[in-house]
Amino acid sequence: MIARVTTFHFKSDRIDEALDIYKKSIVPAAKSQKGYKGLNFFINRKIGSAISIAFWETEEDAIANEQSNYYQEQLVKLMHLYAKPPTRERYEVVFQD
């Protein structure tokens, strides 16, 4: 399994709006993607940051998802809320409890 970790830095007064868009638009869209295994979303309201962890069956599924423009389309939904651009990293999930 692969985890794609996206780190966001939102305008501090817009974090609730970001969470609302994430829950109502991004999560439902993710569920239709090939290889999708789940999402986690963590926020730190004090500093306006958030971490999204999307799980994919294989690295090929994660890469295909990013190359299909789906990932970029989701980032655009939040663009007006960014304090600075998000970052993305991929990790192999080697242990989960």
Q: What CATH number corresponds to the domain at position 31? A: 3.30.70.100
Give the phi and the psi of residue 12 in degrees, each rounded to 5: -60, -30
**Looking at the domain assignment, is residue 26 inside a domain?**
yes
Query: Per DSSP, what are the bridge partners of residue 90?
Result: 4
**Looking at the domain assignment, is residue 40 inside a domain?**
yes
When divided into structural domains, the chain yields a total of 1
Q: What does the pLDDT look like over 42-78, one tens digit per residue?
A: 999 999 999 999 999 999 999 999 999 899 999 999 9
pTM attached to this predicted model = 0.91
- Computed on alpha carbons and rounded to an integer, the radius of gyration of the chain in Å comes to 13
Q: What is the pLDDT of residue 15?
A: 92
Distance CA 84, CA 37 (A): 28
Q: What is the pLDDT of residue 12?
A: 86
Kind of pairing between the strands at 49-56 and 36-44 = antiparallel
Q: Identify the domain containing residue 58 by its residue range.
A: 2-92
Distance CA 46, CA 15 (A): 10
